[in-house]
Chain A
Amino acid sequence: MLALTRYYLALLGHSQRYLPALLAYLALCVILYADPHSPPLPLFGVSAGGLLVVSCWLTIALLDIEDPVQRLVTLSHARQWRRLITGAVLTVLGCSLVLTVITEAWSALKSLKVQPSALGVGLLAHLACAMLGIAIALPCSRLLVHRIGWTVLAAVVTLIVVLLAKIPLVHPLLHALTDEEPVGGPLVLAVVTSVVVLAASFLVVSRLVQRRS
């Protein structure tokens, strides 16, 4: 699995398709964490929402790099669609984890009010959003949708619904964070549902791709 993840990291790095999402996210963090007097949790709510979009972008971009025929060659070495998709998921999770650590470190260095518990909440919030972003991206990606226009449309609509509608995924958590309400329940809900939705998305997409091949 490590070999697949290394390959996908190299593909993403060479393609430079990560740059627009990365630069936009870093710009968001620069603006968010500029004021050292701002409470950290509302800022974590915004940057976690940003990471949801970034992880979705990275997954779609990564799975779009290989031509479908070339992906078959990779599959002939990996042997199973599940291994192939797991490699891509772990790659984006790894990238998201790095961005989360950068965000948290940035916040800890700049803010005068940050506490370890807030950093823990921020870490889980960012990772939950990253997992949900990947879960949204998998069925919208080139694995199942062959035209990039439909991919973008499906992903954007789903992201807007997940972020803005009162769906019990990460929306209650982001709402609680930005409004400085108690986050315990929404945090557990977001983490659990993100893991479940990612697992469901992974299993369904793996099954559908295998059936279509």
Chain B
Amino acid sequence: MIRLEGVGKRYGRGDLVLRDVDLSVEPGRVVGILGTNGSGKSTLLRIMAGVSHATTGTVTGSPRIGYLPDRFPAGQRMGARAYLRHMGRIRGLTDLSAIDPLLERLALVGGPTAPLRTLSKGNAQKVGLAQAVLVRPDLLILDEPWSGLDVATHAILGELVDETQARGAGVVFTDHRPQVVHDHAGVVHLMADGRLTAEDSEPTTRIVLRGHGTDWADEPGVRHAVAEGAQVVLTVEVGSVDAVLLRALKDGWSVREVTPCSR
């Protein structure tokens, strides 16, 4: 569907923000890209969406793209429905009857005639999501789509991703939270300092701990350790779960949750 080979990106005369990225997305696959802020995730998605060009390397394949950036800065007086109709027409759609049901499903506060500039961040992001899925893309590209959306919309977003996958289209999304990526992606890649690496396909377990004092990032079998308030969320290879739990209890941590990462 789309294949990136040796892709690098530099803005102006600055340093490379992407280096030698190889990635292919097949039809019907959901690819998650996990990385911290500033690791190059958004730049990679922009290149895949065709709105930014690669400084080095090649991008092959030109599927129909639906693209949602990490923020949707809708500042116009135009209504949400009118905006979506325009985007649909620009893409060449003739049947625009799906717009109102989609906005209704996303529970857009203010309704379809609400001017974009009056929408909250979350509601603007819903319009952004709607324009991406409206065109029934072959490749749906979502940059941190779960950020800024309320919990109820998280479920609808998950449904939209599933429906897109079910009709044979590919989905690529980014997030900085391992749990979110593992919950929704069939294939996970890690992005760090502009480099993309495929995550080991071995199943993982999510362990939530409360306490302090241990550097979990260096613990054998721990893929990711993310601090969330007073808690630490670990993504641990299944074979190392017992050892990690034992270490946690010995170090005085409280185990709050142990769940398998889905897919």
Q: Interface on A for B, CB 8 Å cutoff? A: 3-4, 6-7, 10-11, 14-15, 65-67, 69-70, 72-79, 210-213
Give 6 A-B pairs besides A73-B69, A213-B51 with Cβ atoms closer than 8 angstroms: A3-B90, A11-B76, A11-B78, A72-B52, A79-B50, A213-B52
A211 B53 Cβ-Cβ under 8 A:
yes
Contact A72 B67 (CB under 8 A): yes
Choose one: B11, B53, B68, B91; the contact of A77 (CB below 8 Å): B91
Report yes or no: B72 in contact with A77, Cβ–Cβ below 8 A.
no
- B77 & A14 in contact (Cβ 8 Å cutoff): yes
Interface pair A69/B69, CB less than 8 Å apart: yes
Q: Determine if B248 is an interface residue (Cβ-Cβ < 8 Å).
A: no
Q: What's the Cα separation between A66 and B76 when bound, in Å?
A: 8
Contacts of B49 in A (CB 8 A): 72, 76
User: Is B203 on the interface with A (CB-CB < 8 A)?
Assistant: no
Are A3 and B76 in contact (CB-based, < 8 A)? Answer: no
| Partner pick for B73 among A6, A67, A212, A213, CB 8 A cutoff | A67
The answer to whether residues A73 and B52 also contact, given A3-B89, A14-B78 and a CB cut-off of 8 A, is no
In the complex, how many angstroms separate the beta carbon of A207 from the nearest chain B beta carbon? 11
Q: How far is the CB of A114 from chain B (nearest CB, A)?
A: 40
Q: Enumerate chain A residues within 8 angstroms of B50, measured Cβ to Cβ.
A: 75-76, 79
List chain B residues, Cβ under 8 A from A66.
76
B residues within 8 A CB of A3? 86, 89-90, 92
A11 — which chain B residues lie within 8 A by C-beta?
76, 78
* A15–B53 CB distance below 8 A: no
Interfacial chain A residues near B76, Cβ < 8 Å: 11, 14-15, 65-66
Residues 58 to 87 of chain B near chain A (Cβ within 8 Å)? 65-69, 71-78, 82, 86-87
| B71 close to A7 (CB less than 8 A) | no
- Give me 14 A-to-B residue pairs in the complex whose CB atoms sit less than 8 angstroms apart, sorted by A's number: A6-B86, A7-B90, A11-B76, A11-B78, A14-B76, A14-B77, A65-B75, A70-B75, A73-B128, A75-B50, A75-B51, A76-B50, A77-B131, A210-B53
Query: Is B135 interfacial (CB-CB < 8 Å)?
Result: yes
| Inter-chain contact B131/A73, CB cutoff 8 Å | yes
Q: List, in ascending order, chain A residues with CB within 8 A of B78's CB.
A: 10-11, 14
Is B3's CB within 8 Å of the partner chain A? no
Which residues of chain A have C-beta atoms less than 8 A from B195's C-beta?
Answer: none
0/1 interface trace, chain B 19-54, chain A, CB 8 Å (1 if under): 000000000000000000000000000100111110
Smallest distance from the beta carbon of B138 to chain A beta carbons, Å?
13
Q: Which of A69, A70, A73 has the most CB of B within 10 A?
A: A73
Residues of B within 8 A of A75 (CB): 50-51
From the candidates B12, B65, B67, B82, name the one contacting A10 in the complex (CB within 8 A): B82
Instruction: Tell whether, in the assembled complex, residue A70 and residue B77 are in contact, meaning their CB atoms are under 8 Å apart.
Output: no
Contacts of B89 on A, CB cut-off 8 Å?
3, 6-7
- Closest B residue to A2 by beta carbon equals B89
Minimal Cβ-Cβ distance residue in B for A78? B90
Q: A15 contacts which of B67, B68, B77, B90 (Cβ < 8 Å)? A: B77
Q: Considering the chains assembled together, what is the distance between the CA atoms of A74 and B135 in angstroms?
A: 13
The CA of A75 and the CA of B46, in the complex, are separated in Å by 11
List of A residues within 8 angstroms of B75 by Cβ: 65, 67, 70
Point out the residues of chain B lying under 8 angstroms from A69, CB to CB: 69, 71-73
- A74: chain B residues at CB < 8 Å are 87, 90
Minimum Cβ distance to chain B for residue A36 (Å): 41
What residues of chain B lie closer than 8 Å to A211, measured between beta carbons? 53
Are A70 and B72 in contact, with the CB atoms below 8 A? yes
In the complex, what distance in Å separates the CA atom of A3 from the CA atom of B90? 5
Name the residue of chain A whose CB is nearest to the CB of B89. Answer: A3
Bound state CA distance, A6 and B96, in angstroms? 16
How many whole Å from B114's CB to the nearest CB in chain A?
13
A14 to B86, CA, bound (A): 14
